Structure 1
Amino acid sequence: MVRLEIKNLKFSYNSKPVLKNISMEVSPGKVTAVIGPNAAGKSTLLKCIAGILKPEGSILLDGKEINNFKRENLTRAVSYLSQESSTRAVLTVFEGVLLGRIHSLSWRVSDEDLKAAWNILRSMDIHKLAKRYLNELSGGQRQMVSIAQALVREPKVLLLDEPTSNLDLQHQLEILELIRGLTIERKISTLIVLHHLNLAARYADELVILNNGEVYASGKPSVLTPETLRSIYGVNARVTLDDHGIPQITPISSVRSKHLA
C-alpha cells in the first residue's frame, strides 16, 4: 500500500500559472476523482505526479519525494494513462498489454507476465481481441487496451486521465466498476480525471474540484451541490440523492442562457 500526498504543488507554462498551491491526499484502496471545467489544470496535475512535468512543491509516496526514486522504481510503483494513448507500433493487443509489464520483462518473458496479461484481458472481456493488431482497432477498443496496459502492471498508484472518453455507456460502467474493484482489492491509490459528474459521484470515494488551477472544494461526492455546479460549471442543475445517498445531477440550463437569448 502506498499513500500519495501532494503539498503546495505549483506549475506554470511559459510563466503562466496553471497549478497554484495544490494540496491533497490519495489513500490506498480509495478512488479519488479530479473534476472541474476545461483548462482547470486536471491533466497537468496528473502529468506532474507521473513525473512528466517538473513542478514546484512536494509529491510524496509514503512520505518519500518522488524525485528521490530511481526511474525504474517509480515506473514500477506508478502507472499513468494519458488522454493521448495512441501508438503506431505494429503490435497485437496481447503484445501491447504485455508491454505494460516492462518493469519485469527481460529477454525471456515469464509465465507470470503472460498470465497477468491474459487475466486482465479476460477481466475486461477483450481477450477475443488478443491476436488483433492495435492499428486495426476502433478508438474505443484501443482505449480498452490502454487501460489494460495500465492495470496489468499492478501498480501501487494508478493515474487515469479520462479513461472512459472513447467508450460507450456500457463500457464506461464496466471499466469504472473494474477500476474501483481492483483499487479496493489491491489497495491501490487511484487518481482519476473524469468529466462525467454522475460517474464521478458514483464511483469515487473522494472528489477534488479544480478551478483555475486551484482546489475549489474537496471531500465526499456530496460536495456537488447546486451552488458548486453554478459557480464552477456555470449551470443551473438539480441535485437529488439516490437510494445509496449518491448525488444525481440533472442539468437544467446555462447561467448565461438568458443573456444569449
Structure 2
Amino acid sequence: MSDPLLSLRAVKTDIAQYHILHGVDLDVPRGQVTMLLGRNGAGKTTTLRTIIGLWQPHSGDILLDGENIARQPPATIARKGVALVPEDMGIFANLTVEENMTLAAVAGPIDQGRLDWIFSVFPPLRTFWKNPAGNLSGGQKQMLSTARAMIEERRLYLIDEPSKGLAPAIVSTLARALRDLKLAGATILMVEQNFKLAKALGDHAAVMDDGRIIWSGAMAELASDASLQERLMGLSMEHA
C-alpha cells in the first residue's frame, strides 16, 4: 500500500448508549480510491461521520497526514481539506444551486475553471443554477451534493453511498464524475453498495462487520474471489 493520507487507529465511537465502532484500524492511501464495504449496520457511515468530526470518537486516533484530528470540530477538519458527501445529501433546499455551491467554497470565491468542469460532468447544475435546490429531482440533488465537495480541490473526499436509490443513467453520470476526480489524483474513501460501481472505481477495499475492519486489500482481489465475498459479506459480486 502506498503512503496513507488517512489512518485510523483503534477508533471507538459510541452513540448514546450504543457502541458502534469497536476499534477501527484503517489506512486510506494517498491519491487512490478506497471502498468501505459491508452489510447494513456494520458501522460504515459512523466511520465517515467520525472522521469528519460529526461524531466524536470515544478513543483512538485519526491521523490526517500524521496530524491527529480526532475530536476536532467538523469546521476545523473541513478547513484542513476534508469534504463529506453525506448519504442524505445535506443540501440547503431553500437556497439556490449557486448559493449551495458558494457556501461549499470554503477557501474563497469559486474558481471558474473548476466550475466549468463541474458543469461539464453535471449539466443540470448549470441549467438550474439560479433555482432553489429543493426543486431539483433526487438525482440532481445527488449531483449537487457531490459537486459541492468537488468545487475545490480537497485533500480527502468522504463519499457515503452516492448511487443509493438513483436511476442507472444518473449512476453512470456520477461514476464519470468520480472517475474524473480519481484520474486527477484525488484521495477518496467511499461507502458504496453498488458493487459494479465499487469495482469500477476502487483501488482498495476494506470490509466492515460489527464495527471493525475484518479484511482489507486490493479491490481487484475481492472482486475476483466469489468465495471471499461470500465469507466476508454473504454476497457475491460475481455478476454485479
For the aligned pair, the TM-score class normalised by the smaller chain equals 0.7 to 0.9
The alpha-carbon distance between structure 1 residues 180 and 14, as it changes in their structure 2 partners (threshold 3 A), is same
Residue 217 (structure 1) aligns with: 215
The alpha-carbon distance between structure 1 residues 24 and 182, as it changes in their structure 2 partners (threshold 3 A), is same
Q: Secondary structure at the match of 1:250?
A: coil
Displacement, 1:200?
Answer: 0.8
Give the alignment partner of residue 25 of structure 1, picking from 22, 27, 37: 27
Give the alignment partner of residue 63 of structure 1, picking from 55, 62, 66: 66
Q: Is the 8 A contact 1:43 1:193 kept in 2?
A: yes
Within 2, Cα distance between the matches of 1:67 and 1:119? 33
Residue 227 (structure 1) aligns with: 227
How is 1:174-213 mapped onto 2 (pairs within 5 angstroms)?
174-185=173-184, 187-213=185-211
The alpha-carbon distance between structure 1 residues 120 and 58, as it changes in their structure 2 partners (threshold 3 A), is same
Q: Secondary structure at the match of 1:199?
A: helix
Q: Secondary structure at the match of 1:46?
A: helix
How is 1:2-81 mapped onto 2 (pairs within 5 angstroms)?
3-55=5-57, 56-67=59-70, 72-76=75-79, 77-81=81-85
Within 2, Cα distance between the matches of 1:45 and 1:67? 12
Within 2, Cα distance between the matches of 1:30 and 1:153? 18
Within 2, Cα distance between the matches of 1:181 and 1:149? 15
Q: Is the 8 A contact 1:177 1:203 kept in 2?
A: no
In the alignment, residue 99 of structure 2 is paired with which amino acid?
Answer: E
Within 1, Cα distance between the matches of 2:239 and 2:56? 38
Q: Is the 8 A contact 2:53 2:73 kept in 1?
A: no
In the alignment, residue 229 of structure 1 is paired with which amino acid?
Answer: Q
The alpha-carbon distance between structure 1 residues 68 and 38, as it changes in their structure 2 partners (threshold 3 A), is closer
Displacement, 1:194?
Answer: 0.2
Displacement, 1:140?
Answer: 1.0
Q: 1:86-143, CA deviations, whole angstroms, 9 ceiling, x for partnerless residues? A: 4454222222222210x234xxxx4x54554343223322322223221211111111
* Residue 150 in structure 1 maps to residue 139 in structure 2: no
* Residue 135 in structure 1 maps to residue 134 in structure 2: yes
Q: Is the 8 A contact 2:97 2:133 kept in 1?
A: yes
- Structure 2: 5+ residue runs without aligned partners? none
Displacement, 1:20?
Answer: 1.8
Residue 90 (structure 1) aligns with: 94
Q: Is the 8 A contact 1:86 1:142 kept in 2?
A: no
User: When the two structures are aligned, how many residues end up with a matched partner?
Assistant: 233
Q: Is the 8 A contact 1:198 1:249 kept in 2?
A: no
The alpha-carbon distance between structure 1 residues 22 and 99, as it changes in their structure 2 partners (threshold 3 A), is same
Within 1, Cα distance between the matches of 2:206 and 2:143? 25
Q: Is the 8 A contact 2:53 2:71 kept in 1?
A: no
Within 1, Cα distance between the matches of 2:137 and 2:68? 39
Q: Secondary structure at the match of 2:83?
A: strand
Q: Is the 8 A contact 1:40 1:213 kept in 2?
A: yes
Give the alignment partner of residue 118 of structure 2, picking from 97, 110, 120: 120
Give the root-mean-square deviation of aligned CA atoms: 2.4
The alpha-carbon distance between structure 1 residues 88 and 198, as it changes in their structure 2 partners (threshold 3 A), is closer
Residue 258 (structure 1) aligns with: none
Q: Is the 8 A contact 2:222 2:229 kept in 1?
A: no
Deviates more, 1:132-141 or 1:116-125: 116-125
- Structure 1: 5+ residue runs without aligned partners? 238-247, 252-261
If the length of structure 1 is used for normalisation, what is the TM-score? Answer: 0.80
The alpha-carbon distance between structure 1 residues 115 and 41, as it changes in their structure 2 partners (threshold 3 A), is same
